[in-house]
Amino acid sequence: MKKKNLTIEEAKKAGGKKYREKVQKVLKEYEELPDEKKHQSHLYYGYGKGKTTAAIGLAFRALGAGMRVAIVEFDKGFDQSKEHYYERRIFFKLKELGYPIEIHSTGCERMNEDGTFRFKNAEEDFAEAKRALGIVKELITNGEQNVLVLDEFIAAANYHLIEEKDVFKILNLYDKNRRFELILTGHKLLEGLEERIDLITENRKVKHYFDKGIQARKGIEY
């Protein structure tokens, strides 16, 4: 017997009653939550490619939904001449067009003139990380954003630009000011962090062309 094709209206009514009731219950319960319980914290971490990409993608989605977005970049300095993170160009352009986006780039230049990367931290790097923490505290306390992205925030602790206790101080401050969504990125979990974050996604490297000599490429990795 030939199976009858359903119209959209018929498909909406066919089966799934218990599922619809469950979803409707969840939606209703969410709407009844106080504002400070509606907003969640996210962490994208790991040694796989895509942590910042995920956070930036979420920021674009929020802007598309009419939300206000603030981004604080740790250890990603920008001297207005050398650009190593080309997604910033899009954000700057969106800001010119009137989209509610603010971006704070902190850190010193890490790329050497010969194309190698500077791994050692200098006094200026620590000063920039401290400046970034100050910006974050101000945004959490007084900012008007709906979404706050702290890019490489956990990495800053992983690589000792800030102390681990600074991460938890920021989370404590956020818990007192939960009026927006908080997005974090980094390389590895800190002890006790899993219990504090509402959503955690690990970007695990399965395979990377870097291992066969393909270097970071403009427009793809930066």
Predicted confidence band of residue 14 (pLDDT cuts 50, 70, 90): confident
- What would the pLDDT profile of 167-213 be if each residue is shown by its tens digit? 999 999 999 999 999 999 999 999 999 999 999 999 998 898 888 88
CATH code (residue 196):
3.40.50.300
Residue 23: inside a domain, yes or no?
no
Residue 79: inside a domain, yes or no?
yes
Residue 6: inside a domain, yes or no?
no
Predicted confidence band of residue 86 (pLDDT cuts 50, 70, 90): confident
Show the domain range for 89: 38-212
Q: 189 vs 18, which has greater pLDDT?
A: 189
Residue 10: inside a domain, yes or no?
no
Q: Which residues contact 129 (CB under 8 A, 6 or more apart)?
A: 74, 75, 106, 107, 156, 161, 162
The total of structural domains in the chain comes to 1
Residue 99: inside a domain, yes or no?
yes
Give just the sign of the alpha carbon dihedral 125, 191, 168, 104.
positive
Residue with tokens 């500077």: 118
Contact 135, 106 (CB under 8 A): yes
Residue 16: inside a domain, yes or no?
no
Res 104 pLDDT > 70? yes
Residue 134: inside a domain, yes or no?
yes
Residue 4: inside a domain, yes or no?
no
